[in-house]
Amino acid sequence: MAANRRFWLKWLMIAVLLAGIGAGGVAYVRRPKDAELEFKTVKVARGEITQAVTANGALNPVRTVTVGSQISGIITELKVDFNSKVREGDELAKIDPATYERALARDVADLANAQAGLELARFNSKRAKELYANRLISESEFEQTEVALKQADANVKIRQASVDSAKVDLDRTTIYAPISGMVISRKVDAGQTVAASFNTPELFTIANDLTKMQIETLVSEADVGGVQEEQKVNFMVDAFPGRKFTGRVNQVRFAPITNQNVVNYTAVVEVDNRDLKLRPGMTANASIITAQRTNILFVPNVALRFRPPENTAIGSTNDAVAKAADTNAPAGMRPPGDMPVPPWVSERRRPTEEERKKYEDSLTPEQKEQYRQMRERMRAMMAEGGGQGGGGGGGMMMFGGGGRGASQTDGPAIRKVYVLDKERSTPGKPVLAAVSVKTGISDGTNTEIQEGLKEGDVVVIGTSGATATAAATTVNPFGGPFGGPRR
């Protein structure tokens, strides 16, 4: 009985397995074929590209002066308020002068007393000279009168200096405007006591000319190389979301500003504010225009990133531009001898592991040994220089590394796009052609094409949504009767 049960169980398992294999085979046969592959394309257009560096900063007057008090006392009168326009020398406020008036009167009295003492010393000196000439007093007594005269004279000068100092303090009880402009800040009220014992108390802030303002923008170290003086700047503020303001770069400072290991540099932007719409302290989101081209060919950036699916028929065109990649490879990244230039070098990007392996497989045994030795030398150089030495980034790009300079480019680069090859394509079976192009500036969305394409060419930017779905649902008939392969 048990043997009979095992017999039927065995045949049941075989039947289930065969049914699963059959279902998988049917699904595999009915899967979407390559003939159903569709590509999304766009035409190469002509237009304008503006390359810009984004930065932000606060709007401030070009010149501001903080007005303080050099003496202590009670504010008895304020003659200006916020937004008051003042001229140089105008009265701004007054401090109670009573204390300083009494101090001046005391010093004046001390001066008068010192002057009287000086007169007495002069009389004594004159009388002592006559007596000494007649030998009626000793030389010592005569010298004492002369010294007393000099002391009295010095005492008068001391008291005069005290009077002058008291007059200065009394004059300082009136606060004057040091420059012409507008009061943008008032930090005291009438009746408030200010103390100038250690620090100068701040009373007002005056902006010299609000029709001319500036933005101290922070530019990252990766972008500061393209920022130069006199470049045009477009910026917006939250107060006027639909309005674009303009300015120009006046100064790019060399001093770095480091915050949490992030290095930025200050670019000062001059702004014309004749209508006084902009106010101090507003946050400006600026775009510094580093390059601008008009009437040029361009393609979307997604076309440069597109890579066709596997098993796609691919041809090749414009070999002249592709070979020009060898001469456009930056110095220090060209392989020696007759070794071919890796494609990622001409395109100035980091390679994938698959690309690097494919490149190695294409080399002869002698070239492979040279390639291996050069990689080892470059890694040793990067280890000694901390990964940031001169030329290290380019070398590691050449050999598949990741130096900091690997992503930096100077001038045009050779990139690759794919176009539909109408001559070799058949209905339902598109054939792509790999086209090497020389690129220029980019605005983050589109990139300038300097060579390799012409206006109206059709470039591929992606595949249709059905293709991606079909690829995701393709089933391997030998991957198991109820799903994908075992893990």
pLDDT by position in tens, the chain (length 487) = 556 666 666 666 777 777 777 666 665 555 555 445 688 889 999 999 999 999 999 999 999 999 999 999 999 999 999 999 999 999 999 999 999 999 999 999 999 999 999 999 999 999 999 888 888 888 899 899 999 999 999 999 999 999 999 999 999 999 999 999 999 999 999 999 999 887 889 999 999 999 999 999 999 999 999 999 999 999 999 999 989 999 999 999 999 999 999 999 999 999 999 999 999 999 999 999 999 999 999 999 999 999 888 767 676 555 544 454 444 454 445 555 556 667 666 555 667 777 777 777 777 777 777 777 777 766 665 555 444 443 444 444 454 444 433 334 445 788 889 988 777 777 767 788 888 899 999 998 999 999 999 998 889 998 875 444 444 444 344 344 334 443 3
Distances (CA, A) of 430 to 37, 39, 424: 8, 9, 8
The answer to whether residue 419 is domain-embedded is: no
Amino acid, single-letter form, for residue 165: S
Strand order in the sheet with 193-194: 174-176, 91-95, 73-78, 193-194
CATH number for the domain spanning 226: value is 2.40.30.170
Indicate the helix (H) or strand (E) that contains 459.
strand 458-463
Between the CA atoms of 442, 286, 243 and 447, what dihedral angle is there, to the nearest 10 degrees?
A: 0
CATH number for the domain spanning 198: value is 2.40.50.100
With 0-12 CB in 10 A as exposed, 13-18 as middle and 19+ as buried, what is 259? Answer: exposed
Measure the CA–CA gap between 234 and 266, rounded to whole angstroms: 17
pLDDT of residue 404: 38
Cβ atoms within 10 A of the Cβ of 397, count?
27
Measure the CA–CA gap between 208 and 220, rounded to whole angstroms: 30
Measure the CA–CA gap between 5 and 71, rounded to whole angstroms: 111
| 204 and 71 within one domain | yes
Phi, psi dihedrals of residue 228, rounded to the nearest 5°: -135, 160
| 265 and 219 within one domain | yes
| 358 and 288 within one domain | no
User: Long-range CB contacts (< 8 A, 24+ apart) of 169-173?
Assistant: 169/71, 169/100, 169/103, 169/104, 170/97, 170/100, 170/101, 170/103, 170/104, 172/69, 172/70, 172/71, 172/95, 173/71, 173/73, 173/94, 173/95, 173/96, 173/97, 173/100
| 87 and 128 within one domain | no
Domain boundary among 115, 149, 172: 172
| 150 and 114 within one domain | yes
The answer to whether residue 88 is domain-embedded is: yes
What is the extent of the structural domain holding 236? 56-62+209-294
| 180 and 75 within one domain | yes
| 106 and 78 within one domain | no
Measure the CA–CA gap between 405 and 390, rounded to whole angstroms: 9
Q: Are 57 and 284 in contact (CB under 8 A)?
A: yes
pLDDT of residue 467: 46
Measure the CA–CA gap between 469 and 328, rounded to whole angstroms: 40
Cβ atoms within 10 A of the Cβ of 384, count?
10
| 199 and 132 within one domain | no
Q: Are 219 and 53 in contact (CB under 8 A)?
A: yes
| 191 and 167 within one domain | no
Q: Are 173 and 100 in contact (CB under 8 A)?
A: yes
Domain boundary among 370, 405, 440: 405
Q: How far is CA 109 from the centre of its chain?
A: 65
Measure the CA–CA gap between 2 and 8, rounded to whole angstroms: 10
The model carries a pTM of 0.63
pLDDT of residue 156: 95
How is residue 210 written in tokens? 């609000």
| Beta-strand pair 314-316/446-451 | unpaired
Q: Which residues contact 469 (CB under 8 A, 6 or more apart)?
A: none
How is residue 340 written in tokens? 């071919």
Measure the CA–CA gap between 137 and 294, rounded to whole angstroms: 106
Residues facing 415 on adjacent strands:
437
Distances (CA, A) of 221 to 264, 341, 387: 5, 30, 17
The answer to whether residue 272 is domain-embedded is: yes
| 149 and 163 within one domain | yes
Distances (CA, A) of 446 to 279, 295, 343, 439, 455: 35, 14, 22, 10, 15
Amino acid, single-letter form, for residue 395: G
The answer to whether residue 265 is domain-embedded is: yes
The answer to whether residue 142 is domain-embedded is: yes
The answer to whether residue 111 is domain-embedded is: yes
Domain boundary among 380, 405, 430: 405
- Total domains present in the chain: 4
The answer to whether residue 115 is domain-embedded is: yes
pLDDT of residue 393: 44
The answer to whether residue 441 is domain-embedded is: no
| 200 and 89 within one domain | yes
Cβ atoms within 10 A of the Cβ of 112, count?
13
| 227 and 214 within one domain | yes
Measure the CA–CA gap between 62 and 82, rounded to whole angstroms: 19
| Beta-strand pair 283-300/232-237 | antiparallel
Per the document, the length of the chain is: 487
